[in-house]
Amino acid sequence: MALLQLTLAIIKPHIIKNPTSLKGIQNVILKSSFKVVRSKRKPISLEEAQYFYEEHKHKFFYNRLVTFMTSGASDLYILAKENAIKDWRSLMGPTKVYRSQFEAPDTIRGKYGLSDTRNATHGSDSPETARREIGVFFPEFDYDKWFREEEAKFRCSQLKFSSDEFVHSVDSH
């Protein structure tokens, strides 16, 4: 059995304000066999958003994106699965919502995206990016320690799921 891969998933502020949409996306995550390793809801600070999106700093949409991402709470998840990055990106669909709605209407962005900025979700695009992005929002999470001490348990053990906290944990019974 292959090692699990980690990815960061962000559920954006306009989804958090719509509990039905949030539940729909959470159901997609669970039905797609992702394990939710860590989960938190928090407003993203201006500093976090500027750092997180620094690669887009000189693009026309940067200010709009940072302003939107700091407009309310987001859900932040560390997801685990074999091929987590590719699978999460596939579930999200194309970044451009217009394209998603016509070419991939059953994807998360096809169903819940409103615009290219308000496209419902974010997902890491590579293992290196996932490690960096997880570190931005989960500074307390030790990436290497998780692979040393928890990965095999998440892959092979019986897990319990807390729907209130939207997170899996190893069932010690």
Catalytic residues: 122
Sheet strands (E) in the chain: 5-11, 35-43, 73-81, 121-123, 159-162, 167-170
Binding site members: 12, 61, 89, 95, 109, 119
C-alpha–C-alpha distance, residues 86 and 126, integer Å: 9
CA 24, 28, 31, 36 torsion: positive or negative? negative
Look at the chain and count its residues.
173
Cβ burial, residue 19 (10 Å; 0-12/13-18/19+): exposed
Can you say which residues are annotated as belonging to the binding site for ATP?
12, 61, 89, 95, 109, 119
Residue 128 corresponds to which tokens in the numbers above?
């290196």
